A and B are shown apart, each in its own frame.
Chain A
Amino acid sequence: MMNDGFDESELIQRAQQGDTTAFEPLVLRYKDLVFARIYRSVCDRSSAEELSQEVFVKAFRGIRGFRGDCKFSSWLTRIALHAVSTHRSSRGYREALRTEPGAQEISHSLDEGAEAVLLQRERVSVLGRCLGELSERLHAVMVLVALNGASYEEAAEAVQVPLGTVRSRLNQARLQLMTCFEKRLGKI
């Protein structure tokens, strides 16, 4: 994490008293973390940015409920996970999952030339769709650990399950993703 010279607990305390200026360094400090976690969950930049904004707005509104019994980043992650899970149950998201990538999207990719780029894009796009099919509990762990590089301990704190559960969910998530890839592409 960047060292911006601010004392985090003091910033939080001030934000809890309604001081928005104290919240600004916190947004700056955690924006990329929150955005990456959301972007890699929903695989759509504009929704991810909108959701990230909401997460910080909600975090500020609810900051008085932050009791300091976990890391601030874990608390933000929980709010982000909730925002993602709400988004995942929205009609727009589910419809987007159902529509296959259109011809335009593919021809645009062809302009790029290299076949490798096209293949890589396809894999990432299938990954996004397959993530959409995972259940909530598997999805959260998969996104945090596998796609964002969070440690098992960090994920355990954010999702509030034991370490062993994080590992078994991660394994299960991967097995399901493999099956989904096989259905759509024949392989990864």
Chain B
Amino acid sequence: MRRVLVESKFLELVDGRLSDAERAEALRAIEADPILSRRFSQYQALLELEQEVRDEKIELSRGFVVKVMERLEEAKRPFLWGLIMKHTKTTVALAGGIVSIAALYITLPDRSTDIFFNEESIPTLKPSLSATQSGIHYSEDIIAEDVPNKPSLEPIDTEHWADYDPSIAREARKLKETKFDSSAGLVGRMPMPPMTSQHSAIRFREYGENSRQQVSSAPVSTFSIDVDTASYTNMRRFISEGTVPPRESIRTEEFLNYFTYSYPKQFEKPFSVYSEVAPSPFHPDRYLLKLGINAKEMQQRERPWNLVFLVDVSGSMEQTDKLGLLKPSLKLLASKMGAQDRVSIVTYAGAAEAVLENAGINQREEILAKIDHLGGGGSTNGEGGIHEAYAIAKRHFMPNAENRVVLATDGDFNVGVSSDEELIRLIEEKRKQGVTLTTLGFGHDNLNDSMLEQLANKGNGNYFFIDSFREARKVFEQSLFSTIETVAKDVKVQVEFNPERISSYRLIGYDNRMLRREDFTNDQIDAGETGAGHTVTVLYEVALAGTRFANETAGNLRYTQGSAPTAVPTASELSRELAFVKIRYKDPAGSQSKELSFPVDQSSVRTGTGTGSQDLKFAASVAAFASVLRQSIQEPAVPLDVIARVARENMGEDRDGYRREFVQLVESAKSLGAGSTAALSK
């Protein structure tokens, strides 16, 4: 018997699980081979050592229980206290808040309605939009977000999953049957689970999911850039607490953009685009188009900073995962100050208070001390926090600087503005005056995730959810320039597909960032910002023209026939341009839009299973994981084992360990029951 084979039976041998014949054969082999017999005696020595370890009594004193209970009480007391504090301001505020959130969804101008579109608005809103604005139905002008989601009835090839593990393929077949059950599948959008208390008080919003588009009817895909990553850190925290994150908290693009990919650095053009087309590692007949949009790096800081920290110090913030994390985060940022930078700090809880105004680098000690002393809770009536912060930013406004308010909170916007609507208006108005807004979310019990994201979006800033000091270091140290230093604003992306090469496409993620085709050239339309060195990764699932998959997903038209199915296209057939990417943006201080364009040509295409780069395959795993958590109706669910395996095989260099951590998260999610058949059929 071969050595490896005998070694694989050591456990069964010592456990007494082998048949007599097998046992005799194994023992003979061990005796005959000196190396094997040494290995087997080492195996037995290891068992003895294990026994010694097990025999050592390990106990904790009762003091441990006291410490845990103290930590729980600590976390609980300020939370309740904070709630009482915040909500006794006026009882009207609470009721008013609910009304104003509802009002916000209804009364924003029609462009905003698109950003906020939700379950209910789609069927009624879309027909009237296309009818009244363009006067035509079902023409080229009906673009991505105008088509309501329909359940994916696309075929999935799951057979190759058996390459990883035959039981996975069985599971996959089960999933396939469940997911495409005709009675369940044709209902349309999945019902949104109610916001239950299961996920404490975090408020998320459900957005529709981009569906597959036929290039013949919708050749152009337009969206605003998104560089936030909060959805990923939020998910990480849920899983580490033993809970599957709520599906409406998942924003796929923020998962994708959490990671760095190997796009070459560049210092000249504001943007460059790297493209790759290769088969999906999960469904070899589906291709992925991966676009890496790479903002210019900076050799050094180009502009000084005028930062105003607006810090929520109300009772609920006094927890180790809130102020306890916020303080070192701010210190990290303060330690990066340059000679011309200015920092101010405004707190709110009780009365808003400017605890530090316009301090320079020579006052570093004072800045650090003020950060240390943040806290203290406060009485009711937090009037004017945000007004004060903007007033200070304005007072010390530097024309050629990054003028920014940094709002740090656990999600209560009792900042002295009566309604969310008014708050958004204020932030938009200040943005036009040159003061931008970054939001930092802390803690899990009261976080208003969707609101923080929207505010940063409207304020031309970015939104981070800080769940650990490691994350704080990522945001404020490793990617500090890209966090603070804007290189372009109102960045929009438009991808035009060549119908001769690509028959259909689906944009993965960016569900709440979709723009209408004509918005691309309309400079009044606000869009996302990018910082120095930011990379934005975009994945499209595409059907290459002429492939079987393209035909299967073309839908049956009475008057138009798809071309005959062929095998994977040959290299010569793929010799022309596949798509054309346009990026439109404004300089940080400018109001004129500029455009850059990048063709996606043959050099980006790789055919054949498994030919994609490690980055593409890793990104595909990230998107697949997001789809499972989101319970996507567009993307066939891939078993989490397969996702973890593909991610693990494509970790690449992974200097910071983030990819490795991702693999662990996928494995933990599996053990929590995410993506199970039951969850999907719900």
Contact = CB atoms under 8 A, between A and B. Distances in A.
Interface stretch (B42-50, B269-277, B345-353): B42-50
Interface string A105-121: 00000000000000010
B240 interface: yes
Given A35-B60, A40-B58, A57-B71, A65 B42 contact: no
B444 A40 contact: no
B244 A65 contact: yes
A85 B664 contact: yes
* Most chain B CB inside 10 Å of its own CB: which residue of A18, A62, A123, A170: A62
B668 A78 contact: yes
B75 A82 contact: no
A182 interface: yes
Interface in A78-93: 78-79, 81-83, 85-86, 89-90
B667 A58 contact: no
Interface in B476-513: none
Interface string A57-82: 11111101111010000010011011
Contacts of B445: 61
B519 interface: no
B391 interface: no
Given A24-B69, A39-B58, A147-B53, A137 B242 contact: no
Contacts of B2: none
A31 to B, nearest CB: 5
Contact of A59 (B11, B12, B197, B242): B242
Given A86-B661, A182-B42, A188-B42, A175 B68 contact: no
A36 B53 CA distance: 10
Nearest to B238: A62
Interface of A: 18, 20, 23-24, 27-28, 31-32, 35-36, 39-40, 49, 52-53, 56-62, 64-67, 69, 75, 78-79, 81-83, 85-86, 89-90, 120, 123-124, 127, 136-137, 146-149, 158-160, 162, 167-168, 170-171, 174-175, 177-178, 181-182, 187-188
Given A82-B242, A136-B664, 16 more contacts: A27-B64, A35-B58, A49-B64, A64-B199, A64-B200, A65-B672, A79-B241, A89-B664, A90-B470, A137-B667, A149-B54, A159-B671, A160-B671, A162-B167, A174-B10, A174-B46
What are the 3 tightest A-B residue pairs by CB atom distance, in nearest-first order? Answer: A65-B243, A62-B241, A171-B11
B57 to A, nearest CB: 9
Interface on chain B toward A: helix, strand, loop, or mixed SS?
A: helix
B96 interface: no
A65 B52 CA distance: 37
B373 interface: no
A43 to B, nearest CB: 10
Given A120-B52, A123-B49, A136 B667 contact: yes
Contact of B664 (A56, A60, A86, A168): A86
B60 A49 contact: yes
B10 A171 contact: yes
Interface in B176-199: 197-199
B28 to A, nearest CB: 20
B65 interface: yes
9 contacts: A27-B68, A31-B68, A35-B60, A53-B67, A60-B72, A64-B200, A82-B668, A89-B661, A162-B167
B660 interface: yes
Contacts of A52: 60, 64
Nearest to B641: A161
B471 to A, nearest CB: 12
A98 to B, nearest CB: 15
Contacts of A40: 53, 58
Contacts of A171: 7-8, 10-12
B64 A35 contact: yes
A181 B15 CA distance: 22
A75 B671 CA distance: 9
A57 B75 contact: yes
A78 B15 CA distance: 26
B673 interface: yes
Contacts of B238: 62
B71 A36 contact: no
A81 B242 CA distance: 10
